[in-house]
Amino acid sequence: MFRINKNQNQSFLCAEHQTIVESARLQMEKVPYACTRGGCGYCKAKVLDGSYHMERYAKSALSDGEVLDGIVLLCKTYPRSDLKIICE
Ligand code: FES
């Protein structure tokens, strides 16, 4: 179980086998999402610290440049350590 620190003033737990959107929804934490399938880009967040695995997503939802900048799709991201993220 890892801790997701959001916007420097909120945090919630996320299991290794859950996406950040899934765990946030289960714990009534607010994170942006819409399709939950990696297709819309609505769940974008910037990872400031920590490691993660991201499943396949639509290139139209997240560009290669954004990936290089540490932007992820929370609906496709599985934590591999505690994370610090910035999102709406
Ligand atoms: S909610 Fe649509 S890409 Fe994540």
pLDDT in tens, 39-70: 999 999 999 999 999 999 999 999 999 999 99
Instruction: Print burial letters for 50-72: b (CB count within 10 Å at least 16), e (below 16).
Output: bebebeebeeebbeeeeeeeebb
CB distance 20 to 31 below 8 Å:
yes
Domain 2-86 classification at class level: alpha beta
Distance 52 CA to ligand 1 centre (A): 17
pTM: 0.94
Distance 36 CA to ligand 1 centre (A): 4
pLDDT in tens, 11-36: 999 999 999 999 999 999 999 999 99
Look at the block and give the residue holding tokens 């591999």: 80
Pocket of ligand 1 (CB under 6 A): 33-36, 38-43, 61, 73, 75
The ligand 1 atom nearest the CA atom of 41: 3
CB distance 4 to 20 below 8 Å:
yes
**Domain chopping of the chain, boundaries:** 2-86
